Structure 1
Amino acid sequence: MESTQPAEDLILTQLPPASELGDPEDPGEEAADGSDTVVLSLFPCTPEPVNPEPDASVSSPQAGNSLKHSTTLTNRQRGNEVSALPATLDSLSIHQLAAQGELDQLKEHLRKGDNLINKPDERGFTPLIWASAFGEIETVRFLLEWGADPHILAKERESALSLASTGGYTDIVGLLLERDVDINIYDWNGGTPLLYAVRGNHVKCVEALLARGADLTTEADSGYTPMDLAVALGYRKVQQVIENHILKLFQSNLVHADPE
């Protein structure tokens, strides 16, 4: 957990507000492994250890990330040979199944009734938002094909795009942007997908968002732009990506301004 910051700096709990992302159906209960609440902040602080870019095909989150799989299927998640029993899978909600990437059971749930595809939980998170937050790309693709609405915002204006950007899931970010979601959507703390990608030191995700027109001038409520965060946290590769993008924009403007 990060050290305490001045009161005037706003702290963002990206998933979900005031709680670690654990069980989709029980946001207030402490995680079964006894871990503390983890927060992400949109202001400079001591940089976290740099982690490699996440593979979109791997569902487990990175160390130091606030995103964490539900502890319902603890055996499989901890690498033990014994997985969850079918009865346990059958007891999971549609939101838990989406977060875990259990496609077979998810499909069965969706066939049971109408309006389940965009059903919100008590936080306002839909199955698509949960799948995007945990990097479950096949589940995201399936839900989108079945008509899941990628524009839905949760109660604190969390979006599938912002949470995928938080985890650095570049392929999921691309899928969502193909559905014309707002690339500059902001949440309760003024955070945008680009700000969260920078904060997580997700270089490829930052590149993808900038290539699609993400706004570099947007400030979080703490007053920091994407470049401010990159500089303050010492994320040199992210800084270089942003600087190169600014240079390209400058050169493009010069070409268009130069009469022939």
Structure 2
Amino acid sequence: MCALSWTGLLFMASVSLAGAEPGHRTGDQALIAAAERNDVEAVRQLLKEGASVRARDPQGRTALLAATYRNHVEIAKLLILTGSDVNTQDAMQNSPLLLAGASGYLDILRMTLAADPDFTIYNRYGGTALIPACERGHVEVVKELLKTKIDVNHVNRLGWTALLEAIILGDGGPTHQTIVGLLVAAGADLNLGDGDGVTPLRHARQKGYRVIADILLSAGARE
């Protein structure tokens, strides 16, 4: 992974000074630490004492993000109910929605979706939560995301859609076959190629993914 840019370093410096009101700074950082170690009672007590759910640590993480990284479902639920922002991004440009989607954390993903997230907030690759979920084979997460208004044809900085990433970075097995079928049913553009114009069908054929190629052909894909 490449080193942080000056922008990233400045971000980390700024968030270390932000998000905590005078008198609550120690409690704010304690809240993030408690969320990370899954200490539900400490989180409840710190919130009662006025710790801010908006506070960030030096990595730009809120308590909700710290809980999401560890898939601490109960704490994530408590923090969202207390008003934590599901759109806040850390220095890695992860938000609770983006992180839960990419990691396959279905329970937390559903909570973030219920909080009406902003689907135009993208990860460090310029992608939505759907794209890495498809690549990594998180079928149930993909199903949940496809029930929303998320853009199934969004193109990330690599020039890939969710469909392309499922094929290019997937293994072609049953899980990715299912995901390709879900994307087709959701209206994915079957002929939208990558940055070099290579279509999903051509990628599938080049990789020897016969079942995926057949799914695409049956839906009207062209090479």
What residue in structure 2 maps to residue 105 of structure 1? 42
Instruction: Call closer, same or farther: CA 1:160–1:12 in 2, change over 3 Å.
Output: farther
- The amino acid that maps onto 2:182 is N
Which deviations, in whole Å up to 9, do the C-alpha atoms of 1:40-83 show, x marking residues without a partner? xxxxxxxxxxxxxxxxxxxxxxxxxxxxxxxxxxxxxxxxxxxx
Task: Note if contact 1:194-1:206 (Cα within 8 Å) is conserved in structure 2.
Answer: yes
**Quick one: which of 27, 30, 35 aligns to 1:93?**
30
Aligned to 2:108: 172
Q: For 1:221 and 1:204, locate their aligned partners in 2 and report how far apart those are by CA, in whole Å.
A: 25
Q: How many positions carry a matched residue from both structures? A: 166
The offset of 1:151, in angstroms, is 2.2
For residues 149-170 of structure 1, give each alpha carbon's deviation from its aligned partner in whole angstroms, at most 9, with x where no partner exists: 2222224432110111121011
Counterparts of 1:1-260 in structure 2, within 5 Å, are: 93-114=30-51, 116-232=52-168, 233-236=170-173, 237-247=175-185, 249=187
More RCO (CA 8 Å, sep 6+): 1
Q: Secondary structure at the match of 1:185?
A: coil
Opposite residue 97 of structure 1, the aligned amino acid is A
* Aligned residue type for 1:240: T
Over aligned residue pairs, what C-alpha RMSD do you find?
A: 2.9
- Cα deviation code 1:99-141 (max 9, x no counterpart): 2221011122223335x21211122210111112221111111
Shift of 1:246: 2.3
TM-score (norm 1): 0.56
- CA distance in structure 1 between the partners assigned to 2:186 and 2:44 by the alignment: 45
Aligned partner of residue 146 in structure 2, secondary structure: helix
Identity value in percent = 24
Please report how far the alpha carbon of residue 98 of structure 1 lies from its aligned counterpart in structure 2 after TM superposition. 0.9
**Counterparts of 1:216 and 1:248, CA distance in 2:** 7
CA change 1:224–1:248 in 2 (3 A) is closer
Measure the CA separation in 2 of the matches of 1:166 and 1:189: 12
Write the distance in 2 (CA, Å) between the matches of 1:169 and 1:235: 22
TM-score using structure 2 length: 0.64
Check whether the contact 1:134–1:167 (CA below 8 A) recurs between aligned residues: no
Contact 1:101 1:136 in 2 (8 A): yes
Could you tell me how far apart the structure 2 residues matched to 1:216 and 1:200 are?
A: 16
Q: Which runs of 5+ in 2 are unaligned?
A: 10-15, 17-26, 189-223
Q: Is the 8 A contact 2:54 2:85 kept in 1?
A: yes
Which amino acid in the other structure matches residue 131 of structure 1? A
AA of the residue aligned to 1:247: A
- Following superposition, the deviation at residue 181 of structure 1 comes to 0.2
Secondary structure, counterpart of 1:93 in structure 2: helix
